[in-house]
Amino acid sequence: MFRWIIIAVLAIGVIASGVWGYQEHQEKNAILVQAENNYQRSFHDLSYHIDLLHDKLGTTLAMNTKEQLSPQLVEIWRLTSEAHTDVGQLPLTLLPFNKTEEFLSEIGEFSYRTAVRDLENEPLTDDEVETLQSLYETAGDIEQELRNVQNMVLEDNLRWMDVQLALATEEAQADNTIINGFKTVEKTVKGYSEGNMGATLTGTSRENHEYRFINGEEISEEEALEQAKKIFQLENSQDITIAESGDGAELAMYSASYRKDDKHGYIDLSKKGGNLLSLIVNRDIKDATIGLHEGMGAAEEYLKEQGFENMEAFQSSQYENVGVYNFISKQGDVRIYPDSIQVKVALDDGEIIGLSARDYFRNHKERDIPEPEITEEEAREKVNPNVEIHEQYPAVIENELGEEVLAYQFLGTLDNDTYRIYINANTGVEEQVDKLKQAENKF
């Protein structure tokens, strides 16, 4: 009798394990299907937006009136932004694709610069028409290459998840139709950039979005493992999985992850200098026991521990039991908005559960800040008189073209809403107006 009971218990255990394994398999498949669908949508959207971009550039060449030309250039600018977004949602972070992104930036910058000026008094020059023609021809080449990839994807039922796997492993050099297709696109644009990108299209901000300002000696994988162990607050480094980025990555880095009990985390460390680029910790967050202000103190302390100096919190928000804090660097009294870091704090115990410092390392440097050409009082006169101004600061921001400009930042209220208003400190132009989601916290 006892023997049959044991057999029955074991049978139930085997069945339960099988059911659990099947459910895990189904959930994993559901996640993979969702990711694959997102990649497919982004790729086909990219092909569609490049098609439209090519057509709009061609139409622009046939126009000659300001009334039609300006809206057309604005539409081109919008399409380049859409294409940038599409590229960002594809698993291409380890595949060199910067030339294509630079090309899109070139089109966006050119179209914006041209659209905002008075084309009636300053029509397109012969050089600008020639530039438009070059952009149009290269966009056509990209369109054709993407269509070739799109045709192979549809005809052979290719999967983007295979691309992600190939790029993340040593199989990146293996034959992969999608990867090879995108490399062809990149090669096509590289030919354009080497022969056509002259002074008329060269901006000042494009380089800011590469990791040019990371310093220090390269760290080994063992050193990265020890650093990850410290950041994750683990006693045993064997609990950590670590991998180095592949050849051609935008930045050489180590990615480390761990899973322990009901908690898992992920970090990226730059190989040069061992800088913490990003941190994610996933766990169940209980009811808040500390306030938003206390959470900000924890975030400030953590930034200091990680070597970030002269940082100032300028915005905080609470989402359920998580505090989200945006920090910017300061150079003297000037706020440097491109050097931003976002920190997430669990308000149940003050643990740091998220950090993104990529913008900081793309842009941070010692800047030669010029003296403003207009006074703060003159800049204040450019603000809507209905806005009640409470605070003002000098600040470096990026304008619509991605160029860094010195501005006066005014924090003010209109009715029940709070705004940040940025007036160019040299020209007096209203560069930007941001409406805050909630009243500004006083730190």
For helices 126-156 and 177-196, the axis angle rounded to 10 degrees is: 170
Listed as ranges, residues in the chain with pLDDT below 50 are 25, 94, 171-175, 194-208, 439-443
Task: State residue 6's pLDDT score.
Answer: 64
Task: State residue 203's pLDDT score.
Answer: 31
Task: State residue 93's pLDDT score.
Answer: 53
Would you mind telling me the total number of residues written for the chain in this entry? 443
CA distance 439 to 432: 18
CA distance 94 to 255: 12
What are the tokens at 62?
């046939």
Task: State residue 332's pLDDT score.
Answer: 92
Which H/E stretch holds residue 318? Answer: strand 311-319
State the sign of the Cα–Cα–Cα–Cα dihedral 226, 230, 235, 236: negative
| Residue 260 main-chain phi, psi, to 5 deg | -145, 120
Instruction: Please report how many Cα atoms fall inside a 13 Å half-sphere around the Cα of residue 423, on the Cβ side.
Output: 20
Task: State residue 335's pLDDT score.
Answer: 95
Cβ–Cβ < 8 Å for 411, 392? yes
Which H/E stretch holds residue 110? Answer: helix 98-116
Q: DSSP secondary-structure letter at 338?
A: E
CA distance 183 to 100: 10
